[in-house]
Structure 1
Amino acid sequence: MPGSDGGKGRGATPASRSGCGHWKSRVFFLALAVLAGTVLWALILSVFLSHASTEREELFRHLEELSANASKHGVALGTLKKDVGTCQSCCQTVQGQLQSALRELAATQTKLLQQESALKELTTSVTQDAAKANRDRENIRNELYRALQNVQLQNGSCEPCPESWRVFEGSCYFFSEKRASWQEAQQQCAQASAHLVVIGGMEEQSFLNRNIQRDHGYWLGLRAVRLLGRVVHYQWVDGAILGFSYWNFGEPNDSRRAEDCVMMLDSGMWNDAPCRNERDHWICEKRRSC
């Protein structure tokens, strides 16, 4: 019995040998797994480091390109600034020239306006002087003619006026009973070798006032002369420029720019009216033959 117990104590049992072998296998696989993980992580880190190195090189390359572009843009910007400075200088020069030209133009315009005003004044003065000279000449002519007529009348060498015509200072006057337009009235006078009356002064006007009928208006031989649509003066049918006048208050007004002919109101005062009016009578005048 003691011999048997001693033998069991010196040798290992099969179960203990099996457990020890299993533990060693587990340690071996664990070590193998750790080694495999380490290798795998080393590979992964190597890949990441390689990729990072590539990206770093790419970033450096882009940085170099950006630096080169920035240098080029800097040069271009400097050139642009220089061009802008040159343009500003040029623009300032041109602006100064334009301002100088504008000042010269304003001065020239002022001189032209002054010359235009002086020319208008001179034209008005010449026109007025010419009209006055024309009136004076016509008045002298009328006075001489009337003086001659008076001498001839006193000598009894002048023909009498036609029947129903009235005489005044060497002229015969016809006061119509009919009405007509200004043109028709002038034609009626022409058929009698006469013309619409031409009034030379207040004495003749007073004679007419005494002989007109107070409810009639009468055409006179006076018409407007227009320039660019405006009345510039009035002229008698014998070509004389208007000298003596006997306008009614506020006349002539050329209402609607259509009143070219002159008629005498029943008061004896003159009024401008449309030539086509057929409401008025007329007065013919002709010189007596001597």
Structure 2
Amino acid sequence: MLAKYSSTRDMLDADGDTTMSLHSQASATSQRPELGHTEHQRPSSAWRPVALILLTLCLVLLIGLAALGLVFFQFYQLSNTQQDSILQKEEKLGNLSRQLQSLRTQNRKLAETLHHVAEKLCRELYNKTGEHRCSPCPEKWKWHGDKCYQFYKESKSWQGCEYFCIAENSTMLKINTQEVLEFAMPQSYSEFFYSYWTGLSRNSSGKAWLWMDGTPYSSELFDVMIDLTSLRSRDCVTILNGKAFSKDCRELRRCACEKAAAMVKVQSLHEPLSRRWR
């Protein structure tokens, strides 16, 4: 009986152990998903700060882009404003430049008009007195047209007169217009046959007559009287008593020089005008 009880208890213990073992296995099986779920949730909690940081960086980047866009917009507006201002200034500068050019043109025209009036008045005074301080020519020089003339009493060869005129900052007399001819020929009248060298010459009898600057002589203005009895290697022209003669360039004749007239001395007109208006 004891043996039967003992075997029965052993069987119960064995069943209990089996039951406990099955319960333990079931408990372990039921607990594994919870551990897996716990392990699955841990990475999610770890990425939250990273995601928050990335979101913050994105917001900062968006704010920076917005600020950059605002700055670019302001710079664009400022650039357009400055460009408009530059265009306006360039337009004003162009208008001022045109006005200045117009004033310069008017000033030049006024100066030319003043010069013509002063020259006309000075010429009237000069023709009345034969000499005036307003004359654009040096002292003792004769004013005619736009040139100054001087007929010297010194006698020299043709080349000597050339050097003499150069020393006086002038050239030898050139008769190339009717006005100059009508002015110069009366200066050649002399009771003692003093003729004046001109700047007209030629190298030989077969060559053309040329003035000192290389321009040709015009026979329509005056004729040159040539002495055919004497042959020379070089001929030069003198004027005497309203006529032109071919002479040996080595002969001694008086010098006639010319130079361009300067500006009329306007300030020298004030004194005669004040006396004239009194």
TM band (smaller chain):
0.3 to 0.5
TM-score by length of 2: 0.43
Higher radius of gyration, 1 or 2: 1
TM-score by length of 1: 0.42
